[in-house]
Amino acid sequence: MRRREFITLLGGAAAWPVAARGQQAGKVPVIGYLSAQVGQNTAAFVQRLRELGWIEGRTIAIEYRWADGRGEHYYAEIAAEFVRLKVDIIVVSGAAVLPAKEATSVIPIVFTAARNPLGTGMIASLAHPGGNATGLSSQMIDLVGKRIELLREIVPGLRRLGILANVADPASVLELGEVATIARTLGFDVIPREIRRAAEIAPAFEALKGRVEALYVVTDPIMYANRTGINILAVGAQLPTIFGFREYVDAGGLMSYGPNFPDLFRRAGDYVDKILRGTKPADIPVEQPTKFDLVVNLNTAKALGLTIPVTFLVRATEMIE
């Protein structure tokens, strides 16, 4: 493996390059990797590293941790663990980014799909993120208007929109505000239901039942962990739903529209490669999605009594039957 210069400041003094330190200790660079679960996203990330010459177990090591729907407290624990392990790079996504930033200002952080890195203060700007974190934005807020338009297409006469969001999550608060603003601009009556814990999800549906005609669910770890239950409640309340992640549709949700996450995770491999070869995170611009997926669950549409127009279906990336 070629010598790769990686200079960082630690306590005001220049640290040894990552590759050099690894060679001196007889070890390879270590990535601390925290993601929601094992799946195609992780496979895409690891495959891209291989293409770039970083072979797990040979030229790089990866410490995997899986969130499995757990919240910010767990993310903070894992971030602290990565700091104790003195990993060379931390790779995280979604709500795990802020806890990682709070845990270290020294170890480079690559986020694979941050929901709103600029609005939540993770970075100074997209072009010049500054600090020790960079990566890819999932553009969740930028896609709000598109999701509302998609709901309007398949719910005839939609006028009353419900929003379900965990207001204990900073990125969710920002998205909730954007959904309400855009929906009202389009002439909808908006009824938000704010939760802070999983036990409040079922009562929120009871409060919305009969008052709204469709539901926008803002994604966060609590919603993700309870996606199957949310979809059962939604069908029971006869509420068409839209989400930002396809996993909700796999679990029985009506539809999702969002970035292609395997592509984002794959591109995160390029960020890791650049950092290990000497580029500072502060100097690597944050990139946005280039591929987007519209996923529709036809079984759920049938259960809700909805007929999806052919003009809508031809635009779908995937239809679940």
Quote the pLDDT of residue 73: 81
The answer to whether 248 and 231 are in contact (CB under 8 A) is yes
Domain 144-259+293-320, what fold?
Answer: Rossmann fold (3.40.50)
Domain 9-138+261-290 identical in fold to domain 144-259+293-320: yes
Calculate the alpha carbon distances from 69 to 94, 121, 124, 187 in Å.
11, 23, 29, 35
Convert the pLDDT of each residue in 254-294 to its tens digit: 999 999 999 999 999 999 999 999 999 999 999 999 999 99
| pTM for the predicted model, two decimal places | 0.85
The answer to whether 141 and 116 are in contact (CB under 8 A) is yes
Q: How confident is the model at residue 43 (pLDDT cuts 50, 70, 90)?
A: very high
Quote the pLDDT of residue 115: 83
What DSSP assignment string belongs to 13-57?
EEPPPHHHHHHHHT---EEEEEESSSSHHHHHHHHHHHHTT--BT
Q: Please tell me the least confidently modeled range out of 14-28, 49-63, 297-311.
A: 14-28
Task: Please state, in angstroms and rounded to a whole number, the distance separating the CA atoms of residues 99 and 236.
Answer: 36
State residue 85 phi and psi, 5-degree precision: -75, -10
Q: How confident is the model at residue 47 (pLDDT cuts 50, 70, 90)?
A: very high
Q: Which two tokens stand for residue 209?
A: 């039942």
For 9-138+261-290, CATH number?
3.40.50.2300
Q: How confident is the model at residue 2 (pLDDT cuts 50, 70, 90)?
A: very low
Convert the pLDDT of each residue in 87-145 to its tens digit: 999 999 888 888 999 999 999 999 999 888 888 788 889 999 999 999 999 988 999 99
> Where in the chain are the domains?
9-138+261-290, 144-259+293-320
Residue 24 has pLDDT above 70, yes or no: no
State residue 192 phi and psi, 5-degree precision: -85, 145
The larger pLDDT score, comparing residue 81 to residue 96, is at 81
Residue 22 has pLDDT above 50, yes or no: no
